[in-house]
Amino acid sequence: MKRLGVTAKEMSKYPKQPLPPPAHGSVPSLIDDMIAIYVKDDTAHPVIRAAWLHNRFTHIHPFLDGNGRTARLLQDFALLSGKLFPTGVPSALRDDYYDALADADNDDWDGLVAIIANRQLSVIAKASGIAMEREERSKWVARLAKKADDKKKGAQHKQYLVWAHKMNEIQSAFEATAQEISDVSDVLSVEHQSYPIIDFKTWKNLGAGKRATATWFFGQILIVDGDRAYRFVVYFRKHLSFPSDPFVDGEPIISLRFTGGKPHEKYDFGQFSDPDIRLRELLFHAEDLYVYYFNGKMRQGRHEQIEQWEHSTEFTANDIIEHLYSDLFENKNGV
């Protein structure tokens, strides 16, 4: 607090190229210009207007402290004015946010717009919840996918936005179920931890078969009578095709894979196998949710016995969660 109100004599500290602030005496006129441009150009999508207002304010603000918080408040004001949800910037995305803000200083807006758009999708998924009808959800997604990023109007980016929304809905359903179990039971509880969804670039790289880091989406720890009985992690990877798949051969599809074990065990992120647990993989394709599960049978592979999987589109996210918790609590832990 001792530096509050002191004008900056050093450059702003982004992780990338630094940007010198303006002289403090020119701030009022610069703010007036910013407001005039924002009010006049009201045809752009609220996400793009929010990104612009956020970045322009950081150009003007001359103080060492406070500009980030105020800029994020202005961003949320623009989103609320456009009838969207306020998103802020979570601490888990702070490094990506600083990089994107620095890129926007050089007129590369993709990163900042993508961060705000993806955060908007996450907030919409939590707000709408599993009770929202598919048709209503699709309207939200279609509207956001159409207008959110004017530099990413290609079909692939729209596909990513729809996919990300569906993945966030699945994660939200798991989180809500974990909270409900913890609230109503004296014996059982579930700890939930979520991670930022992979960005568009990582999504494309996974689809192309490239390696990627930070692909965990969420994890849960199941607690029985105060003891941590089981932990599972759900992560992103490219779907490995099966002969029975209805997809176009070679089509890049990113799925959610399941792995787990005792809380302190080393987990298998290649080919998870457990006869007590059926769930193996979830993916969204052409408006359908596919669940891949172990059918209890083995077949001879090239070098060893491998599991036989089947898939279905008949299950909702709630059905999948119910079956998984039944396997974990009842079959695996004898509840």
Does 118 belong to an annotated binding site?
A: no
Known catalytic residues?
61
Does 235 belong to an annotated binding site?
A: no
Question: Which residues have CB under 8 Å from 39's CB, separation 6+?
Answer: none
End-to-end CA gap in the chain: 54
Q: How far is CA 193 from CA 108, 218, 231, in A?
A: 32, 6, 11
Does 65 belong to an annotated binding site?
A: yes
Does 142 belong to an annotated binding site?
A: no
Question: Which residues have CB under 8 Å from 24's CB, separation 6+?
Answer: 7, 62
CA dist 215 and 236 (Å) reads 5
Amino acid at site 219: G
Q: Collapse the DSSP code of 330 into the 3-class scheme (helix H, G, I; strand E, B; otherwise coil) and give the result.
A: helix
User: Is-contact 115 100, C-beta < 8 A?
Assistant: yes
User: Is-contact 224 190, C-beta < 8 A?
Assistant: no
CA dist 301 and 306 (Å) reads 6
Does 97 belong to an annotated binding site?
A: yes
Does 160 belong to an annotated binding site?
A: no
Does 70 belong to an annotated binding site?
A: yes
CA dist 163 and 82 (Å) reads 23
Angle between helices 46-60 and 27-40 (to 10 degrees): 170
- C-alpha closest to that of 43 among 116, 155, 143, 147: 147
- Backbone phi and psi for residue 178, each to the nearest 5 degrees, phi listed first: -60, -45
CA dist 58 and 98 (Å) reads 11
DSSP, residue by residue, 153-205: -SHHHHHHHHHHHHHHHHHHHHHHHHHHHHHH-SSEEEEEEE-PPP-HHHHHH
Does 100 belong to an annotated binding site?
A: no
